[in-house]
Structure 1
C-alpha cells in the first residue's frame, strides 16, 4: 500500500477529466499535498498552463483556459471562490474538494455563479500530505496548539481537533476502510480526537463510511492515537540516517531542501528536491547511515565520471547520434550526482563544525545506557563548557538529562541551567526545561520511556545494548513507538492504558490482529520513527518477526526536528 498512489490517482483523474489547456488553482495546503506526489514536469504534461494560489492577486482574464480548483472545503476557500466567481478569470471552473463539503457552502457558491461557469463539483478525498509511501502528515499550522488543553469546538475549521478529524476521515474514505479506534489514555487531545472521529464515522456520516463487510473474517483495520508527550526523547536526539540527518541539520519541507543560506552552494543547488519517487538513489539510501550514505554518494560520482569518460569518444556520426540521444539522461545524472554531493558536503561540514559525533555519543549514553547520574552529568557538563557546540545543542543535552534524571538529579539539573545562563542563554529559553518536565515529565507519561521501572525492563535494556558494537554507539536509541506496537501485536497492550473509543470493544478485543494498523501521533512524527515503520513493513512483507503479514502507516501533525520541537515548546510556554 503506497499512499502516494492514492493522492496521485485523484490528481491524475481531475487533470485528465478536464481536457484542453487549463490552470490549476490551489490553496496553501493543497499546494503541499500536490507537490509531494507530483512533479512540476508531470503537471505540465497534463496541459496545465498555469499553477497558482487561489488567494494570489488576480491577474489578466484567461477565458480560453479551464480552471481546475483543488481546494480544502474551508469557509475561507469558499469565500475566495465567491470572490473569484463574481468576476471570473477563466472560462470554466471545475471544483474538486479534498473532503466533504457542506450543502450550505455549495449553496453559497451557486448564488454567485451568475455566469454559470462552474461545470462540476466533486469530492476527492486527499486531505493529507504524503511524505513517504507509508508516512503522511495532517499539518496543523501551529503545532504547539496540540500541546495544551483547549476548548473543543468542532464547527471551527481552525480547531486542531477538527482539522485532524477531517484528515483522518479523508484517509479512511480514500482507502475505503472504516477503522476501529484506540487512543492513549491520559491524553486529553487523543481522547477528543478519538471521540470526534468516532462520532463522524458512526453517527454524523454513518452511511458515507459504510463500506460493507469484507470477506474471510478479516479484522477491521485500526487507528492507534498516540501523544507526542509520551516520547519527548526521539525528537530531541540527533539522527544519523540520510533522510533524518538532512531534516535535522538543514530541514525538509514538502520534499524540498532550502540551501540558500549555505555558504558556497551553487545557484543550481540552492533548492533541492528530495523525493523517493523521483530519485532512485535517494529511495535506496534514505535510510542508510551517514557513513554508508557517504560511500554511496562517492559511488554515484564514480559512476557519473565513468559515463563522462565513455562519452568523450565521439569519432563518428553514430557516436554523435548516441550522445545526443543520451544527453538528457546524462544531464539528469549529472544534476543528481551534484545534488547529493552538495547535501553530503553540507552535512559533513555541520557534523565537524558542531562536533556532533561527540555530542551524539553523549546524548545516546544519557538516554540508552543503564543509569549513571554522576557520569552522565559530568559528560554533559563537559560538553556545555566546550566552545565548539551551539546553544541549541547545549539545550538539547540538558533537556535529555533532565528527562532522564528528573527525580534524582535536581541539583545537577540546576547546575547545568546555571552554566547555560553563564553562557548568555536567555532566561526565557532556560524555562524550556521546566516546560518540558511540566508537559512531558515522568508523571505525565504512562509508558516506561527509559526502561527503568522494573527489573525485567532494566535487564532487557542491558541485554540489548551489551550486544551492540562500538560502531552503533550513535544509533543505540529505539523509538518507544516500536515497544508500543510490539505490545499491541502480541496482545499485551492493556485496554486500561489504550482503550477503544467504541466501548463495545473494551474487554472484548478482536481475536485476530489487524492486517493494517495506522499510528497517528498528535504533536508530530520524526523521520527516525518513519524509518522504523518502513523496516517493520519490510519485515512484514517477508513474513519475518512479530510484524509478519501486517502493514503499518504512520501519520502525525507534522515532522519534527529538535529545533522545531523546541520552538513548539517555546510557543507553548509563551501562552502559559
Structure 2
C-alpha cells in the first residue's frame, strides 16, 4: 500500500487563500465524494485540522461537498455504520491510534474511510496501518495533503505556534526540548505552504549579527533561530523536490525568514488603521466580535459577527486610518439615504413621508440588498463609534503621538515624564507600552536605578517592569552592558536611533500615520534587488536573475524587468490634523487611492513570502496588503502566530 500526496490540478490563477480552500474542498472532500452527489459522508478532524478547515472554509462549503456531519476525533462518537467517513487528521501516533480504533475490529464506526493526513506520515505509523488487513479493507484512500497552516486572509497565514516567542527566545529557552520541538514544528508547517502552492522558494534568512568588538559575548541559540529555521525548511523542501508530484525543480519565488527582533516596536505601538484598532481596543475572540442591538420592539439582543473578507465593507475599510473610516461610513450612509429616497419614489411615496412596515417590506423586495447593506453599515458604524469613544476616553491621541515621536527620534524622557505626570488616568497597559517603546528606541537608558524611578512614576508593578527587561531577548539594549564578561549578544551592540528612517512628510495624509513596520523596508528593498546579502544571505545562492526582481513580461519571453516600487503614502496630501477630510473621487477612492482590494486580479511577477518567527501584527498585514496592491505583486506574510498588543504583553511578561 502506498501513500499518495494531494495534487492540485485545477487550472487558472488563484490567490493564496483560494488555493488553500480549493485543496481542502475539491482535492480532499470532492475526491472522496466521487460522482455520487447523494453519497453523504461524516468528516472527522482533530484539534489542529479543525482549525485549518475552519480558517479556510465555511460550514456551507463543507456541506456542499457532501458532508452531513462534522465530528471531533478526540470525543466519543455515535456509530454510523451506514455512512462513509473522511478523516482529516495529523499523522501523530495518538490520531492514528484513534482512527484505527474507529475502523478496526468487528464493529467499525463507519462503513468505509478516506484518510487525509495534514503532513507526511511516518514510516513506522504507515507500517502499523499496513499490518492490519481488516483495517486496510476499510480504507478507500490514504493520502498526505501536506497542508498544515491556518489562513488569516488572502495574503496571510499562521503555523499556530502561539508560544514560539517564549520557547525560542525566552530566558530559559536555550538547550531545551521545547526549543527544538517548536523549531521543527514551525519548519514542517511552513514547508506545507510551499507544498500546497507548488512553489519552490529561494530561501533567505536574517543572519545573526556579530558581537561588538568591545564585548566577549557569544552567539546564542536565540540568535540563530532564523538560520536554523531556514536550514530545517530547506531540508524539507529538498524532500518535496524528490517526492512530490508536480513540485518545481527550480526556484519559483523568494522567501525571507526573520524573527520578531527585526522590529520589536510593531507589536506594542498603537496602529491607527481600522483592523488593527478593532483587535487592539475591542474585546474580540480572534475575528469574532460580540455586540448588542436593540430591535424594533425595544428588545436588546446579543449578536455575533466575524470581521472577515466575506464582508465587503470590512474589506474596504480594514486598512484605512480610523479618520478615513469615519468619512467613508458617513459617505456610505448618505448614499444609502439616496437609495432610500429612490425606493420611496419607486413605491409612489412622497419625499419625507415615513414608510410603513408594509412599505418597508416592499422596499426590501424592490432592493434585495437593502437589509444586508443596512446591517453591515450599522455594524461598522457601531464599531467605529466604540473605537472613537475609546480613543477619546483613554487619551490615545496624545499617547499615539508620543509613541511615534519616540520611533522617529523626536522625543526623549522629558516628554515621557510629562505625559505620565499630566495624564494620571492613563491605563497601566498604555503606560507600559510607552515605556517599552521608549526602551526600544533609547538603548541603554534603563539601569536598575532608573527602572525603579520609572516604576514609581508610572505606578507599575514588578511584573510590568519584567516585560520591559525581557525585550533584551529581542535585541533591545534595555540597560548598559559591561564590556567584559558574559552578556547577551543582542545587548552587546547599541541600536541606532531612530529605528526607522523618516519618510517624506509630503507623503503623510493623517496625523498618527507616520509609523510603518520595518518589514515594509525589507520588502521594498527586495523588490528593488537591494536587500543586503550579508544581512540576509541565501541558503543556496541563486543562479541568474533573482526571482523576486523578475517580473514575467508576457510580451518578452525570458525577459526580466526591474519593477518600480510604489508607496501608497505618496497619494496622501499633507495635513496637520488627524481627522482632516480628504477629497473623494468618482471612482470611489479617497484621496486618489483605491480601496477596492481586488483579490481576483492576477499579480504581475513571482510571489514574495515573508515569514516572521515570534508573531506578526495587524500593521504588518496592512503593509503587505498595500504593497501588494501598489506594486501588483502577491506578497504573502506568515508567522508562528498573529498577535494583538495584549498578546505580546502577556508573552513578554513570562
Using the size of structure 2 for normalisation, the TM-score is 0.73
- Inter-partner Cα distance in structure 2 for 1:335 and 1:113: 56
State the partner residue of 1:15.
29
Q: 2:141 aligns with which of 113, 116, 120?
A: 120
Note if contact 2:204-2:536 (Cα within 8 Å) is conserved in structure 1: yes
Query: Residue deviations 1:273-312, cap 9 Å, x none?
Result: 1121x11111111111112222333444555566667767
Relative to structure 1, the CA distance from residue 308 to residue 539 in structure 2 (aligned partners, 3 Å threshold; closer, same or farther) is: closer
State the partner residue of 1:524.
615
How is 1:65-104 mapped onto 2 (pairs within 5 angstroms)?
65-86=83-104, 88-104=108-124
- Inter-partner Cα distance in structure 1 for 2:108 and 2:340: 52
Relative to structure 1, the CA distance from residue 65 to residue 242 in structure 2 (aligned partners, 3 Å threshold; closer, same or farther) is: farther
Relative to structure 1, the CA distance from residue 491 to residue 332 in structure 2 (aligned partners, 3 Å threshold; closer, same or farther) is: closer
- Inter-partner Cα distance in structure 2 for 1:522 and 1:249: 25
Q: Which has the larger radius of gyration?
A: 2
Query: Residue deviations 1:311-336, cap 9 Å, x none?
Result: 678799x9999767678744433432
Q: 1:426 aligns with which of 436, 456, 461?
A: 461
- Inter-partner Cα distance in structure 2 for 1:480 and 1:41: 39
How is 1:66-465 mapped onto 2 (pairs within 5 angstroms)?
66-86=84-104, 88-111=108-131, 114=134, 116-143=137-164, 144-148=166-170, 149-151=173-175, 159-186=181-208, 187-202=223-238, 206-208=242-244, 211-212=247-248, 220-250=252-282, 255-258=287-290, 267-269=301-303, 271-276=304-309, 278-302=310-334, 329-370=369-410, 372-382=411-421, 385-387=423-425, 389-408=426-445, 410=447, 413-420=451-458, 423=459, 425-442=460-477, 444=490, 451-452=497-498, 461=502, 464=503
Note if contact 2:167-2:179 (Cα within 8 Å) is conserved in structure 1: no
Task: Report deviation, 1:558.
Answer: 1.0
Q: 2:634 aligns with which of 541, 546, 551?
A: 551
Relative to structure 1, the CA distance from residue 319 to residue 352 in structure 2 (aligned partners, 3 Å threshold; closer, same or farther) is: closer
Task: Report deviation, 1:353.
Answer: 2.7
- Inter-partner Cα distance in structure 1 for 2:299 and 2:494: 44
State which drifts further: 348-357 or 529-538.
348-357
Relative to structure 1, the CA distance from residue 119 to residue 390 in structure 2 (aligned partners, 3 Å threshold; closer, same or farther) is: same
State the partner residue of 2:56.
37
Relative to structure 1, the CA distance from residue 90 to residue 345 in structure 2 (aligned partners, 3 Å threshold; closer, same or farther) is: farther
Query: Residue deviations 1:59-110, cap 9 Å, x none?
Result: 3222333322222323332233233334633323221222222232233345
Task: Report deviation, 1:231.
Answer: 0.7
State the partner residue of 1:546.
none
Partner-residue secondary structure (3-state), 1:560: coil
Note if contact 1:229-1:445 (Cα within 8 Å) is conserved in structure 2: no
Note if contact 1:178-1:210 (Cα within 8 Å) is conserved in structure 2: no
Partner-residue secondary structure (3-state), 2:264: coil
- Inter-partner Cα distance in structure 2 for 1:304 and 1:415: 55
Determine whether 1:534 maps to 2:647.
no
- Inter-partner Cα distance in structure 2 for 1:51 and 1:528: 35
Aligned residues: 533
Note if contact 1:36-1:254 (Cα within 8 Å) is conserved in structure 2: no
Partner-residue secondary structure (3-state), 2:244: coil
Note if contact 2:476-2:491 (Cα within 8 Å) is conserved in structure 1: yes
Unaligned runs of 5+ in 2: 1-13, 209-222, 293-297, 350-357, 478-488, 551-605
Query: Residue deviations 1:492-512, cap 9 Å, x none?
Result: 33322222123x55xx78456
Determine whether 1:2 maps to 2:15.
yes
State which drifts further: 354-363 or 223-232.
354-363
Partner-residue secondary structure (3-state), 1:284: helix
Unaligned runs of 5+ in 1: 542-549, 572-576
- Inter-partner Cα distance in structure 2 for 1:427 and 1:36: 38
Partner-residue secondary structure (3-state), 1:121: strand
